[in-house]
Chains A and B, each alone.
Chain A
């Protein structure tokens, strides 16, 4: 991940440092969902990720420092005009990263819609799109 940018609106920021920390931490968790965390089962129903040796989570080197922009629109119905902000950071990364991959391969138009976005899933989605594109081109020529 080369860069990660967030624009958020949690209303009045009571402690801006905590706001930034919550967002950065949420993104770390969301990157785990997007790229790493998965509990697969084999055909007999045996779980294949039962320790942290198999269940991958992002560590510091995998998490970029997010650039954060704050829009401050105070809520009218809460004390001080605050809104929730704890979970926002964690929700977007799967969609954000999947869309970044789709954009990087825009010429191929792969279906990038299953997380975690493992190298195998992404590579197979691109290969499938390439062969479908090839078949389309062929049928268009025929």
Chain B
């Protein structure tokens, strides 16, 4: 199928794109890499009447390292991260996550901002950014704000972005020392979205964050599991009970198969982290 007709403009500043988004009685959509949007347009699942191309806005490409955080511009592509064109004080975690996204042709164009804005619960970046306690910077023609990534993603393909708001980039806090991580992802075949994906991260001072995505309403932290691991829980039954407690809250719709699947990915991410 082909996309339904739409108008197209190229914005050169955030203010311009935001003003176009805010136009009343128009359904406008931002396009950056287009790797998720174009198929949706072609299947006519999405039918905006205006596409605002933000791929040339310089301020969305701003990527730099501050003493306590790295700032990643929204237009950073998965391939930029995979190829190491980004500071990665996370022991290779960002590169590892980027290289596991779909396949290379998608990674050449797909952006981190686009991935988060789509809010697919099975996408890689939201899980990673939640585990790393990243903040997202959001701006419009009028104002800018920063909020924790978990507060941006409201549910399946839903965010708390205002009609005129654009994701500018992400601030990912730098770890104080060495960071260990384990990433386990279950996909039906190469390049597919994950049925379940868990990322376990341990900071030098001992804090542990385990984020889970996939067949859930939205990615979330397995807090009881993380705490139990940190407290030195030695038995697998104890760990499984903690994960079950987290899944009851974060994935209440999960049937027995999904419970087993998510539990397995969380335990494997942990085992992988401990092996590093």
CB neighbours (8 Å) of B43 from chain A are: 51, 53
- Asked whether, in the complex, the Cβ of B260 is within 8 Å of the Cβ of A123, the reply is yes
Size range of the chain B interface in the assembly: 10 to 19
Q: Does A61 belong to the interface (CB within 8 Å)? A: yes
Query: Closest approach, in angstroms, between the C-beta of B25 and any C-beta of chain A?
Result: 31
CA A124 to CA B188, docked complex, whole Å: 16
- Asked whether, in the complex, the Cβ of B188 is within 8 Å of the Cβ of A123, the reply is no
Query: Closest approach, in angstroms, between the C-beta of B267 and any C-beta of chain A?
Result: 15
CB neighbours (8 Å) of B192 from chain A are: 56
With A51-B43, A53-B39 as known contacts, state yes or no: A62 contacts B189, CB within 8 Å: yes
Q: Does B186 belong to the interface (CB within 8 Å)? A: yes
Q: Does A119 belong to the interface (CB within 8 Å)? A: yes
Q: Does A100 belong to the interface (CB within 8 Å)? A: no
Task: Decide if the interface of chain A is mainly helix, strand, loop or mixed.
Answer: helix
With A51-B43, A53-B39 as known contacts, state yes or no: A123 contacts B190, CB within 8 Å: no
Q: Does B195 belong to the interface (CB within 8 Å)? A: yes
- Asked whether, in the complex, the Cβ of A119 is within 8 Å of the Cβ of B195, the reply is yes
- Asked whether, in the complex, the Cβ of B39 is within 8 Å of the Cβ of A123, the reply is no
CA A124 to CA B43, docked complex, whole Å: 33
Size range of the chain A interface in the assembly: 10 to 19
With A51-B43, A53-B39, A119-B195 as known contacts, state yes or no: A127 contacts B189, CB within 8 Å: no
Which of the residues A56, A58, A62, A123 comes within 8 Å of B261, measured between beta carbons?
A123
- Asked whether, in the complex, the Cβ of B189 is within 8 Å of the Cβ of A119, the reply is no
Which of the residues A51, A59, A124 comes within 8 Å of B191, measured between beta carbons?
A59
CA A138 to CA B11, docked complex, whole Å: 69
- Asked whether, in the complex, the Cβ of B257 is within 8 Å of the Cβ of A58, the reply is no
Residues facing B in A41-56 (CB within 8 A) are: 51, 53, 56
Query: Closest approach, in angstroms, between the C-beta of A59 and any C-beta of chain B?
Result: 6
CB neighbours (8 Å) of B260 from chain A are: 123, 127
With A59-B191, A119-B188 as known contacts, state yes or no: A127 contacts B261, CB within 8 Å: no
- Asked whether, in the complex, the Cβ of B191 is within 8 Å of the Cβ of A119, the reply is no
Q: Pick the most buried of B43, B189, B192: most chain A CB atoms within 10 A of its CB.
A: B189
CB neighbours (8 Å) of B188 from chain A are: 36, 56, 118-119
Q: Does A120 belong to the interface (CB within 8 Å)? A: yes
- Asked whether, in the complex, the Cβ of B39 is within 8 Å of the Cβ of A62, the reply is no
CA A121 to CA B260, docked complex, whole Å: 13
Q: Pick the most buried of B186, B188, B195: most chain A CB atoms within 10 A of its CB.
A: B188
Query: Closest approach, in angstroms, between the C-beta of A32 and any C-beta of chain B?
Result: 10
- Asked whether, in the complex, the Cβ of B189 is within 8 Å of the Cβ of A58, the reply is yes
With A51-B43, A53-B39, A119-B195 as known contacts, state yes or no: A61 contacts B257, CB within 8 Å: no
CA A51 to CA B39, docked complex, whole Å: 11
- Asked whether, in the complex, the Cβ of B257 is within 8 Å of the Cβ of A124, the reply is yes
What is the 8 Å Cβ interface bit string for chain A, positions 78-98, against chain B (1 contact, 0 not)?
000000000000000000000
CB neighbours (8 Å) of B261 from chain A are: 119, 123
What is the 8 Å Cβ interface bit string for chain B, positions 253-276, against chain A (1 contact, 0 not)?
000110011000000000000000
Which of the residues B186, B191, B256 comes within 8 Å of A127, measured between beta carbons?
B256
Residues facing B in A25-47 (CB within 8 A) are: 36
- Interface residues of chain B, those whose CB is within 8 Å of chain A, are 39, 43, 186, 188-192, 195, 256-257, 260-261
13 more contacts with CB within 8 A, not counting A53-B43, A59-B190, are A36-B188, A51-B43, A56-B192, A59-B189, A61-B190, A62-B189, A62-B190, A119-B261, A120-B257, A123-B260, A123-B261, A124-B257, A127-B256
